[in-house]
């Protein structure tokens, strides 16, 4: 039951990686559980400012499934 997790910007800087495979059995299979797992694993700062996109959609369903791509997105800075 693995998912792909991508990290960007300030979050990638803290994790030291831009992408990894994680196992849902370890992380828990909800968006909130995955976020809590990664925040603890990497001691992520300002977690309240990090949005998660599931398969490139923000505020997607709470349940994660095999093969999902989840992105940890810090505040945007385009323009």
Partner 1 sequence: MSEKKIKKVFVEGAIPPDKIAGSIAHHQSKTGIGAHSIFLGQVRADVINEKKVAAIEYTAYEEMAGKKFHEIREAAFSKFDLTCAHIYHSLGTVKAGEICLFVFTSSAHRKAATDACSYLVEEIKAKVPIFGKELFEDETHQWKVNQ
Q: Which residues bind partner 1 (CB under 8 A)?
A: 6, 8-10, 13, 53, 56, 71, 73-79
Residue 25 CB, nearest distance to partner 1 (Å)? 26
CA distance 13 to 2: 23
- Say which residues have a Cβ less than 8 Å from residue 69's Cβ, sequence separation at least 6: 3, 4, 5, 6, 54, 55, 56
Helices (H) and strands (E) in the chain, counts: 3, 5
Residue 13 CB, nearest distance to partner 1 (Å)? 8
Residue 10 CB, nearest distance to partner 1 (Å)? 4
In the bound state with partner 1, the residue whose beta carbon lies nearer, of 9 and 28, is 9
DSSP assigned state of 63 = B
In the bound state with partner 1, the residue whose beta carbon lies nearer, of 26 and 45, is 45
In the bound state with partner 1, the residue whose beta carbon lies nearer, of 62 and 69, is 69
């Amino acid at each position: 039951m693995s998912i792909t997790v991508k990290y960007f910007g300030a979050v990638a800087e803290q994790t030291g990686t831009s992408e990894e495979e994680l196992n849902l059995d370890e992380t828990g299979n909800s968006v909130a559980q995955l976020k809590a797992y990664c925040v603890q694993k990497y001691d992520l700062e300002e977690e309240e400012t990090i949005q998660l996109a599931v398969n490139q959609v923000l505020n997607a369903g709470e349940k994660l499934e095999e093969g999902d791509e989840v992105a940890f997105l810090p505040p945007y800075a385009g323009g």
